[in-house]
Amino acid sequence: MSKHEHISMSVIRRLPRYYRFLSFLIESDVMRISSKELSEKMGITASQIRQDLNCFGGFGQQGYGYIVEDLQKAIGEILGLNNLKKTVVIGAGNIGRVVATHMIFENQGFKMIGIFDKNERLIGESIRGIRIDDSASLEKFCNENHPSVAALCIPKEDVPEIIDRLIALGIKAFWNFSHYDILVKYPDVAVENVHLNDSLMTLSYKSNDL
Amino acid sequence: MSKHEHISMSVIRRLPRYYRFLSFLIESDVMRISSKELSEKMGITASQIRQDLNCFGGFGQQGYGYIVEDLQKAIGEILGLNNLKKTVVIGAGNIGRVVATHMIFENQGFKMIGIFDKNERLIGESIRGIRIDDSASLEKFCNENHPSVAALCIPKEDVPEIIDRLIALGIKAFWNFSHYDILVKYPDVAVENVHLNDSLMTLSYKSNDL
């Protein structure tokens, strides 16, 4: 699957939202939608929608609108959602537990194949049919199963030791809940940071004058 | 506190990261830092740092660098972190529980004063000393305690009913974990969306070619 090199990340970041809306329309048996209707439902301008979707060659027809299912499928392909990437969850504390329990990874392009923690009290428990293993066994597991993605659900201070091991084991993409800045040391891997504290601070700013 | 109206949100969104780094430097007893050193630690260019901080009138002195504590304090003030906003957590399921248990709201400008759920099995439990109350008692609670912020940790389908009530009760800012798009109906409130699925899909895109 070719990365659409000339598409800005700000367009890419809007695609999951289109994908969600289109999936919702499919569930509601909507077959076709104009950019105007889509814009009213999504709260963004029709011209923004046309501009975004034109980045990928355009899916709509003038005066006819978009075929919902085709558009959803095309966006899913761009996002690589059908290409399930083997994923390990590192850390089975509260955040790791939410991630392992509730993220239906398969719908978003990932397949959870392992969960690891160093806490002996958690090792041996199962989440969604997957046993929490000792972090010490990461090397053996990865050499046998070749995951390419890790969800990092551990505190910042625990990251430096484990990140070097994960990179050496061939992990190339990180869903990072820690505050450790992976790209400083490893600029070539793919990282999506989920910084809940940063999001709260931004909300603090936005709500100052309300 | 005046909102810095001319500052773009992309600059604002970087401030929490500066704040975190500076807080870390304070813990490490670093008193002063140049934009060059800060840039090496943070993995962004020194000119980006100078440009960002100049938006707020500039804190550094040529050839001397930034006083870490002053800069951290100034950024904290811009973000409004000292102005603790009374916050209720709506939903005490897995995500609500992570939020209520682990977010040290006080460090990010918020004070959690209530947790609500409609699930009778959860009502009466306590998290961090706060009792989970019945969602039916929201009106009474808000009229007495006047929270201005809500963390929405409920499924999308449960939002339409409760959002109207929260808005009517004076809630003006939302930390939104649901996939409900609040701004479509209420464009004037402050919203920070945490869309974990969207983040995963973006990571799927980024990791397609690795």
**What is the C-alpha to C-alpha distance for residues B116 and A47, in angstroms, rounded to an integer?**
40
- Chain position carrying tokens 């190339």: A172
Chain A residues whose CB is inside 8 A of the B205 CB are 3, 12, 15, 78-80
Per-residue burial over B91-105, b if 16 or more Cβ lie within 10 Å, else e, is bbeebbbbbbeebeb
Per-residue burial over B40-73, b if 16 or more Cβ lie within 10 Å, else e, is eebebeeeebbebbeebeebbeeeebbbbeebbb
Are A202 and B194 within 8 A, CB to CB?
A: no
Tokens at residue A175, please?
């869903």
Question: Distance, in angstroms, between A116 CA and closest chain B CA?
Answer: 19
Which helix (H) or strand (E) covers residue A72, if one does?
helix A68-79
User: What is the CB neighbour count within 10 angstroms for residue B124?
Assistant: 10
- The pLDDT tens digits of the residues spanning A79-128 come to 999 999 999 999 998 789 888 887 767 788 899 999 999 999 999 999 98
pLDDT of residue B2: 47
pLDDT of residue A59: 65
Are A16 and B197 within 8 A, CB to CB?
A: yes
In the predicted structure, residue B84 carries a pLDDT above the cut 80 = yes
Question: Distance, in angstroms, between B206 CA and closest chain A CA?
Answer: 6
How many CA atoms does the CB half-sphere of B144 hold within 13 Å?
7
**What is the C-alpha to C-alpha distance for residues B9 and A198, in angstroms, rounded to an integer?**
13
Which helix (H) or strand (E) covers residue A166, if one does?
helix A159-168
Indicate the pLDDT class of residue B133, thresholds 50, 70 and 90.
very high
How many CA atoms does the CB half-sphere of B26 hold within 13 Å?
14
Indicate the pLDDT class of residue A2, thresholds 50, 70 and 90.
very low
pLDDT of residue B1: 40
- The lowest-confidence range among A4-13, A122-131, B74-83 is A4-13
Backbone angles phi and psi of A46, in degrees to 5: -60, -35
Average pLDDT score over chain A: 89
In the predicted structure, residue B205 carries a pLDDT above the cut 50 = yes
C-alpha to C-alpha distances, A112 to A32, A127, A145, A172, A193, nearest whole angstrom:
34, 10, 11, 15, 18
Beta B126-127 vs B110-117: how paired, if at all? unpaired
Residues β-bridged to residue B151? B89, B175
CATH fit for domain B85-198, picks 3.30.499.10, 3.90.1150.10, 3.60.21.10, 3.40.50.720: 3.40.50.720
Average pLDDT over residues A22-35: 91
Record the pTM.
Answer: 0.80
Question: Distance, in angstroms, between A78 CA and closest chain B CA?
Answer: 7
In the predicted structure, residue B10 carries a pLDDT above the cut 70 = yes
Are B1 and A198 within 8 A, CB to CB?
A: no
Average pLDDT over residues B38-43: 84
- The lowest-confidence range among A18-32, A179-193, B50-64, B114-128 is B50-64
Q: Cβ distance A49 to A80 under 8 Å?
A: no
Backbone angles phi and psi of B157, in degrees to 5: -70, -20
- The count of CB pairs under 8 A between chains A and B is 196
In the predicted structure, residue B4 carries a pLDDT above the cut 70 = no
pLDDT over 70, % of chain A: 93
**What is the C-alpha to C-alpha distance for residues B56 and B51, in angstroms, rounded to an integer?**
9
pLDDT over 90, % of chain A: 55
CATH class of A9-77: mainly alpha
Backbone angles phi and psi of B131, in degrees to 5: -75, 135
Location of each CATH 1.10.10.10 domain in chain B: 9-77
**What is the C-alpha to C-alpha distance for residues B15 and B18, in angstroms, rounded to an integer?**
5
pLDDT of residue A4: 59
Chain A residues whose CB is inside 8 A of the B204 CB are 79-81, 83, 85, 108-110
Average pLDDT score over chain B: 89
**What is the C-alpha to C-alpha distance for residues A156 and A177, in angstroms, rounded to an integer?**
9
pLDDT of residue B7: 78
B109/A5: higher pLDDT: B109
B119/B54: higher pLDDT: B119
In the predicted structure, residue B105 carries a pLDDT above the cut 80 = no
In the predicted structure, residue B27 carries a pLDDT above the cut 60 = yes
Location of each CATH 3.40.50.720 domain in chain A: 85-198
Strand, coil or helix: what is A5?
Answer: coil
- Chain position carrying tokens 């999308």: B156
Beta B126-127 vs A110-117: how paired, if at all? unpaired
Pick A210's closest partner by Cβ from B173, B201, B208. B173
Average pLDDT over residues A10-20: 90
Question: Which residues, including other chains, have CB under 8 Å from residue A193's CB and lie 6 or more apart?
Answer: A176
In the predicted structure, residue B143 carries a pLDDT above the cut 50 = yes
Are A43 and B183 within 8 A, CB to CB?
A: yes
pLDDT over 90, % of chain B: 55
pLDDT of residue A58: 60
**What is the C-alpha to C-alpha distance for residues A95 and A127, in angstroms, rounded to an integer?**
13
Closest residue in A to B201 (Cα) is A108
SS3 annotation, chain B = CCCCCCCCHHHHHHHHHHHHHHHHHHHCCCCEECHHHHHHHHCCCHHHHHHHHHCCCCCCECCCEEEHHHHHHHHHHHHCCCCCEEEEEECCCHHHHHHHHHCCHHHHCEEEEEEEECCCCCCCCEECCEEEEEHHHHHHHHHHHCCCEEEECCCHHHHHHHHHHHHHCCCCEEEECCCCCHHHHCCCCEEEECCHHHHHHHHHHHHCCC
pLDDT of residue B168: 97
Chain B residues whose CB is inside 8 A of the A111 CB are none
Q: What is the predicted ipTM?
A: 0.89
C-alpha B181: how far from chain center? 17
Average pLDDT over residues A144-163: 95
- The lowest-confidence range among A70-74, A101-105, A203-207 is A101-105
Are B204 and A83 within 8 A, CB to CB?
A: yes
Are A197 and B103 within 8 A, CB to CB?
A: yes
